[in-house]
Structure 1
Amino acid sequence: MPPTPSPHPSPGIELVRDFSLEMTGKDNAALAEATGAVPPGTRINVTFLGNENLSMRLAAAVAVRAAGFEPIPHISARRLASVAELDEFLQALTGDARVHEVFAVGGDPASPLGPFPDALSLITSGRLQAHGISAVAIGGYPEGHPDIDEATLWEAMEAKSKALQEAGLDGSIITQFGFDTAPVLSWLQELRRRGIWYPVRIGVPGPAGIKRLLTYARRFGVSSSAGIAHKYGFSLANLLGTAGPDRFITDLAAALDPAVHGEVGLHFYTFGGLQATAHWVAEFEAGP
């Protein structure tokens, strides 16, 4: 039975509507379990990880489409060995999974495996449009990147934005997850000051076990449980429980100004917990 809506809704309720989710090529079973809890048509990103292959990524995108959701496959530029590999993947995605939009990222390898060193090279290759892709999401880093300085990040953002316009592709931005609203708001303001007005989905960690959350967070500069607790808003007495991003979302929604920050939504990094995240969103919308 769905939660009963609160008569005094949180300022974050509007922000969580039309949320998007993320899954890996290994999460098909989790997707099946979550299908009844996730609103039809929800955008679900499918990752492009090094321990997955084309068939796994394709099967996940097909499963997303078959379940009534919108698959947004990631394409990791540096993991592609050739143009032929990109073409094979795109042909399969646009055929079997009826994909219209992808998320172009550089990827983790220190050296490219093939001809694509970054997301910009994917956008300018012409291969996306050749296979019927009409929209491309690109990455944003409000709290910085561990391996790329801020000036370079902004140069890349401006170059990708310009390339999307020149290619006639619709654009959007999905950010890495964070724990603090202040850098998110500052980053959004700077993005708009630079004339980039694409819709932005702010990355948010879904309700995840604290140990798992801490493991992921260390990759992005927040290395202590005390630091996580301070920014994320949960009690250190409950470190073995589950944290939800209530405070982050409520604070962010209260501070957003469309005239300054533009169109903003949320993208949940689920850490495999698709069903838990969907249930959490429903409960959040219902209010306390």
Structure 2
Amino acid sequence: MAAEGLRALLERVRYEVLPARATEDKVLAHVPRDVVVTVTASPVKGLEPTLDLAVRLAAHGYRVVPHVPARLLRDDLHLKEVAGRLGEVGIDDVFVPAGDADPPAGAYEGALPVLRRLTELGRPFARVGVTGYPESHPLIHDDVTVQAMWDKREHVTYIVSNLCFDPRLLGEWIGRIRRRDIALPLHVGVAGPVQRAKLLAMATKIGVGESTRFLTKHPSWFLRFATPGGYAPERLLTRAEGALTVPSAEVAGLHLFTFNQIAETERWRRALLDRLGD
């Protein structure tokens, strides 16, 4: 992969973290202030741990993006309260997926009604992100996911792609959404250098095990992590170079899924940047 193209992607990263007990300390110890930190939300724990961690990290000077799943919102009043609380601390960027809470906490079944409501509230956030699915969603047809991005385009400012381990599929998907005139900037989701032993240990812990919930829905994804030598983020980036760096792709940067292996992810990124610099 061309050094300049990879360097540009690695310098425009977002770290996705989980609101666990030690997350704040890990971020403070290992994440530079110029790296965006996104905080996931769990259907088991609810939205409060996400908002609490986001507010604390913002107070430390980080640009924070809390996940606000539609299915964790009780009603319009709850949405207004969330927007007001985040606005008070200067958080102007949120990520709005549908979420997996079943049943939903309130009336919102999917992301689009929440996005429309935020628009009606005067767009309290300068940036709003939604999910894209390069590999098939387990419950939703590919055509439906692409159409959903088209329907949301008036209410959002960027897309974050879910994990994809096939560079060919990733490139085809990017081309497909661009041909559909979905021109929103794209943050490409990439798993960080997850260590096999730590990933398997995480999956056994209550609460932290929530982090691997979506991996268990995709057994082939889990095998890529769990098999020694089965996954290396730089190999994926190298093979996807053409799809990620062509100007028409409008890739804004990388969204790194850390699985709370935050120190390992930042060490990997810095080491790769140093090698490219040499």
TM-score tier by shorter-chain length is 0.7 to 0.9
Give the equivalent residue in structure 2 for 1:62: 55
Give the equivalent residue in structure 2 for 1:20: 14
Distance 1:244 1:67 in 2: 32
Q: Give the secondary-structure state (helix, strand or coil) at the position aligned to 1:208.
A: coil
Give the equivalent residue in structure 2 for 1:83: 76
Give the equivalent residue in structure 1 for 2:31: 38
Gapped regions of structure 1 (runs ≥ 5): 1-7
Counterpart contact for 2:196–2:228, Cα < 8 Å: no
Give the equivalent residue in structure 2 for 1:4: none
| 1:1-288 matched pairs, under 5 angstroms | 9=3, 11-26=5-20, 29-95=22-88, 97-126=89-118, 129-130=121-122, 132-161=124-153, 163-164=154-155, 171-210=157-196, 212=199, 217-222=215-220, 225=223, 228=224, 244-287=232-275
Distance 1:105 1:287 in 2: 36
Q: Give the secondary-structure state (helix, strand or coil) at the position aligned to 2:220.
A: coil
Query: Shift in Å at residue 175 of structure 1?
Result: 1.1
- Percent of aligned pairs sharing the same letter: 25
How many pairs are equivalent?
263
Distance 2:137 2:195 in 1: 24
What amino acid is aligned across from residue 62 of structure 2 in structure 1?
Answer: F
Distance 1:120 1:244 in 2: 35
Counterpart contact for 2:170–2:243, Cα < 8 Å: no
Counterpart contact for 1:41–1:68, Cα < 8 Å: no
Gapped regions of structure 2 (runs ≥ 5): 204-211
Give the equivalent residue in structure 1 for 2:206: none
Deviations 1:82-128 (A, max 9, x none): 22222222211111x31111101101134433121111111111367
TM-score by length of 1: 0.81
Counterpart contact for 2:46–2:72, Cα < 8 Å: no
Distance 1:42 1:237 in 2: 29
What amino acid is aligned across from residue 46 of structure 1 in structure 2?
Answer: V
